[in-house]
Amino acid sequence: MTDPHAPSADLAYLSVAEIEGRLEAGTLTSVALVTALLERIAAIDAPDSSVALRAIAALAPDALDVAAERDAERREGRVRGALHGIPVVIKDNVEATGLPGTAGSTALVGRPAREAPLVARLREAGAILLASTNLSQWANIRSVRSTSGWSATGGLVGNPWALDRSAGGSSSGSGAALAAGLAPLAVGTETDGSIVCPASVCGVVGLKPTVGVVPATHVVPISASQDSPGPLGRRVDDVARMFAVLSASDAPPERSLRFAVATSWRTEHPATDALFEAIVAALRAAGHDVIDREVAVPGEAEGQDELTVLLAELHDDLSDYLARRPGEGVKSLAEVIAWENDHAASELAHFGHDLFDMALATGGRAGEAYEAARARNLAWAIDTCLQPALDGVDVLLAPAYGPSWKSDLAVGGHPGPASPATTPAAIAGWPIMNVPIGLVHGLPVGLAILGRAHDEWTVLAASRVIEALVDARGPLGRPTWEAPARG
């Protein structure tokens, strides 16, 4: 299999419900599915493959053995849970037995990985851990000039829709792997935009839950106040199923919803914003309760406060994590900086670690700037922005990101047009979700859905409504694998 469009690729794009149906009917086995996905990864993803997508960081060595075990259990009538026999990939900053968990850095190569609680939940539900995914190194907190999707251990992730364009970040490989049909489900992490962005530009569904709903233990950290692991998939129902497992929660009965449209949040990319408006018009035409609402827009002061908070928490949280991780190697942020300076040919080949240097200088949470910046940030995000925006409604809608930009390792990532939707949700730690809404210039764009803290199931219910409207207009289809080109 060397052609991403080959008929044999059909198996790679099954939904979780379709996979489950075939497994139950006996027309598909987990071994056959995992075998097909491993063959597809070899043909599409590896550096010497026909496409060299570089979405996968490492393969789980026991994936086929676990698949055989799940098949045997199913034959015996022992189904573990909602993901029994379903392959899953996880971002490479999540620790799991048998996978590297390096966050894309050579500084962590060879360090033993523990079993993150979120991974344990996946395994308990019967999932098959297939691989870990490449990412923006250190989850994109290393430099203001970073190129999204690049890591020293994995290289640069491509976007399956156009191979010279970014897969977003920092959960780049998770979004690209789903779009490429390398797995039906993925785990990403978000601090500000790192699930929503790759989901939007790769044309998949992604949910960043409320901070703390999915445990972040044994996940390489940036910020305890903003980091949140979450599920990605190609359909809302797939993401909902995985969220139920990751959060150990059940969906409540669905009810009618009231939507607000953030009139002051746009990407400023005309075609993207026009498509968003068309979806909102379809929502109204279908009889849903939709109001317009002007919502506060983050300015320079809010952005600077957020950066102050993230760098101070990185100073403390990453050093604490590294000191506790088993094995020999770097034990603090300062040691990471020294490692990268000593291994500059691989680590600093395309951009530096200026944000690490700034974080080291903050003094952490004990520094003089942190406490006031965090208080101002929270007051703006919750009191000024989100609570008024969600007053009397269930969810808030806005465009997510415009079409993906071209990756450029020479001068930096140049992130493309985006609305400010991820920022207040990130600062507050509240949920946000991306749903694909169509193609602009042949590239996916998404719609962001924000909800109140711990109200993910309402966000998911609203996402189903949006997905149904998009399906009625015509689904995105599969990636086009456009070759690198000018323009």
Tell me the catalytic residues: 91, 170, 194
Residue pair 336/111 in contact (Cβ under 8 Å)? The answer is: no
Does 39 score more than 60 pLDDT? yes
C-alpha to C-alpha distance for 58 and 226, rounded to whole angstroms: 27
Does 391 score more than 80 pLDDT? yes
Residue pair 168/202 in contact (Cβ under 8 Å)? The answer is: yes
Range of the domain at 170: 7-247
Strands 150-151 and 155-156: antiparallel
> Would you call 25 exposed, middle or buried from its count of C-beta atoms within 10 A (0-12, 13-18, 19+)?
exposed
Nearest of 366, 383, 363 to residue 375 by alpha carbon: 383
Please tell me the predicted confidence (pLDDT) of residue 6: 66
The CATH number given to whatever domain includes residue 193 is 3.90.1300.10
Q: Could you tell me if residue 259 is inside a domain?
A: no
pLDDT tens, residue by residue, 260-284: 999 999 999 999 999 999 999 999 9
C-alpha to C-alpha distance for 282 and 149, rounded to whole angstroms: 34
DSSP letter string, 184-212? SEEEEEESSSTTHHHHHHHT-EEEEPPTT
C-alpha to C-alpha distance for 305 and 487, rounded to whole angstroms: 36
Nearest of 179, 231, 251, 79 to residue 479 by alpha carbon: 179
What is the CB neighbour count within 10 angstroms for residue 109?
11
Amino acid at 229: P
Q: Could you tell me if residue 265 is inside a domain?
A: no
pLDDT: which is higher, 228 or 254: 228
Beta strands per DSSP E along 181-314: 185-190, 205-208, 228-233, 258-262, 289-293
Nearest of 205, 227, 206 to residue 216 by alpha carbon: 227
C-alpha to C-alpha distance for 477 and 243, rounded to whole angstroms: 24
Does 380 score more than 60 pLDDT? yes
Angle at 45 between CA 42 and CA 51, to 5 degrees: 105
C-alpha to C-alpha distance for 97 and 114, rounded to whole angstroms: 6
Q: Could you tell me if residue 88 is inside a domain?
A: yes
Compute, in degrees rounded to 10, the torsion defined by CA atoms 141, 147, 149, 152.
Answer: -80
Q: Which three-class secondary structure state does DSSP give residue 2?
A: coil
Question: Which residue reads 């323009």 in tokens?
Answer: 487
Element (H, E) at 179: helix 172-179
pLDDT tens, residue by residue, 6-27: 656 789 999 999 999 999 999 9
C-alpha to C-alpha distance for 304 and 311, rounded to whole angstroms: 11
Within 13 Å of residue 456, how many CA atoms lie on the same side as its CB? 29
Q: To 10 degrees, what angle do helices 333-342 and 300-324 make?
A: 90
Q: Could you tell me if residue 383 is inside a domain?
A: no
What is the CB neighbour count within 10 angstroms for residue 50?
15
C-alpha to C-alpha distance for 170 and 16, rounded to whole angstroms: 24
Strands 289-293 and 258-262: parallel
**Total count of domains within the chain:** 1
Q: Find the mean pLDDT for residues 233-251.
A: 98
pLDDT tens, residue by residue, 115-157: 999 999 999 999 999 999 999 999 999 999 999 999 999 999 9
Q: Find the mean pLDDT for residues 457-462.
A: 98
Q: Could you tell me if residue 260 is inside a domain?
A: no
pLDDT band of residue 5 (cuts 50, 70, 90) is: low
Does 1 score more than 50 pLDDT? no
pLDDT tens, residue by residue, 406-448: 999 998 877 889 999 999 999 999 999 999 999 999 999 999 9
Per DSSP, what are the bridge partners of residue 190?
228
C-alpha to C-alpha distance for 111 and 107, rounded to whole angstroms: 9
Q: Could you tell me if residue 413 is inside a domain?
A: no
pLDDT band of residue 343 (cuts 50, 70, 90) is: very high
Please measure the distance between the N-terminal and C-terminal CA atoms of the chain and give it in whole angstroms.
30
% of residues, the chain, pLDDT over 70: 99
Q: If you average pLDDT over every residue of the chain, what do you get? A: 96
CB contact set of 3 (below 8 Å; sequence gap of 6+): 9, 50
Q: Find the mean pLDDT for residues 207-236.
A: 98
pLDDT tens, residue by residue, 79-102: 999 999 999 999 999 999 999 999
Q: Could you tell me if residue 281 is inside a domain?
A: no
